Amino acid sequence: MDVRARRADLVLRARRGAGPGYRRIKREWQWRRCGADLNLTTATSSDFPYAVMRHTTPMLRQLHGLPMQLQHNKITNLRLAAAPLDGRVLAPGQRLSFWKFVGNPSARRGFLDGVVLDDGVLRAGVGGGLCQLTNLLYWMTIHTPLTVVERWRHTYDVFPDNNRTQPFASGATCAYPALDLQIENRTDATFRLGLSVGESDLSGEWRSNREPRHTYQVYEAVHVITTEGPGIYMRRNIIRRHVIDRDGIEIGDELVSENHAQMMYEPFLPPAPVREGIGGGAR
């Protein structure tokens, strides 16, 4: 693990060791400083005729060693979390905080045991599975002119790339209340967030009251896997996006994020090249 990865790991452990009370007070103080900028109203989609970004992800996935019931419980958790966010309007200068609206995902509020990631290990935990919602929100937002002002990357890469349709580390993790996802509107247009939880799919969209000036193509610019020790692999990448105007002309290429995570599975690495000896024979 390199210096940056160790530092990030130490910061995360320090936050955990500080206790839930401290983290709650720190987050509530941040919300108070934002003031009215966090007070988002709701509206129907009819007032926002322009679809800026839509995305859908499947919610049911069989995970080795974990009962499928946890995946079905996750659907309940996602419904509870999506309800207070659906229809929220983000006006110019306002900010959306995921946890400000979702609140503490506790059993008392009806949240069930779902899958959580704890120091690289998948286990059952109350409110598990909400990262799928923050992943969706983050992925949609980086395809819009809205600005992500707080996002936490996943510390561990748990799943191999089988059937992966998005770049590695193109999501956002969450943990109440310390690890939040916050999105700010620094444009002159107004946006509406729409979310729906079906029987097997989670869907979302950003709509606007103005026709979008640009579209965005998100891509992985750099991707490397390094060996940090016996059986320890780190995965790093850089995600960028092309900015395209209404005429289809690229007018910008912007940095989205730099990511690194420890891999919790054995990566496929190409065999080392055979080196030729001085006499031409392989050694």
Q: Which two tokens stand for residue 213?
A: 């000036």
Residue 282 — very low, low, confident or very high, per pLDDT cuts 50/70/90? very low
Q: Which two tokens stand for residue 30?
A: 């941040």
202-232 residues labelled b (16+ CB within 10 A) or e (exposed): bebbbbbeeebeebbebebeeeeeeeeeeee
pLDDT of residue 62: 79
Residue 277 — very low, low, confident or very high, per pLDDT cuts 50/70/90? very low
Residue 218 has pLDDT above 50, yes or no: yes
pTM score: 0.87
CB 253 within 8 A of CB 227: no
Residue 16 — very low, low, confident or very high, per pLDDT cuts 50/70/90? low
pLDDT of residue 148: 98
Q: Which of 70-84, 96-110, 269-283 is the least confident region?
A: 269-283
> pLDDT over 90 for what percent of the chain?
75
The span from the CA of 90 to the CA of 210, in Å, is 13
Query: How many alpha carbons fall within 13 Å on the CB side of residue 112?
Result: 13
Residue 39 — very low, low, confident or very high, per pLDDT cuts 50/70/90? very high
Among 60, 56, 79, 58, CA closest to 69: 60
When pLDDT is averaged across residues 198-215 and rounded to a whole number, the result is 97
The span from the CA of 34 to the CA of 19, in Å, is 23
pLDDT of residue 272: 45
The span from the CA of 86 to the CA of 13, in Å, is 33
Residue 64 has pLDDT above 70, yes or no: yes
When pLDDT is averaged across residues 130-137 and rounded to a whole number, the result is 98
Among 49, 37, 56, CA closest to 191: 49
280 Cβ contact list (under 8 Å, min separation 6): none
pLDDT of residue 10: 64
Residue 59 — very low, low, confident or very high, per pLDDT cuts 50/70/90? very high
pLDDT of residue 150: 98
12 Cβ contact list (under 8 Å, min separation 6): 155
pLDDT of residue 274: 40
CB 157 within 8 A of CB 261: yes
pLDDT of residue 280: 33
Residue 273 has pLDDT above 60, yes or no: no
When pLDDT is averaged across residues 61-76 and rounded to a whole number, the result is 90
> pLDDT over 70 for what percent of the chain?
88
Residue 259 has pLDDT above 90, yes or no: yes
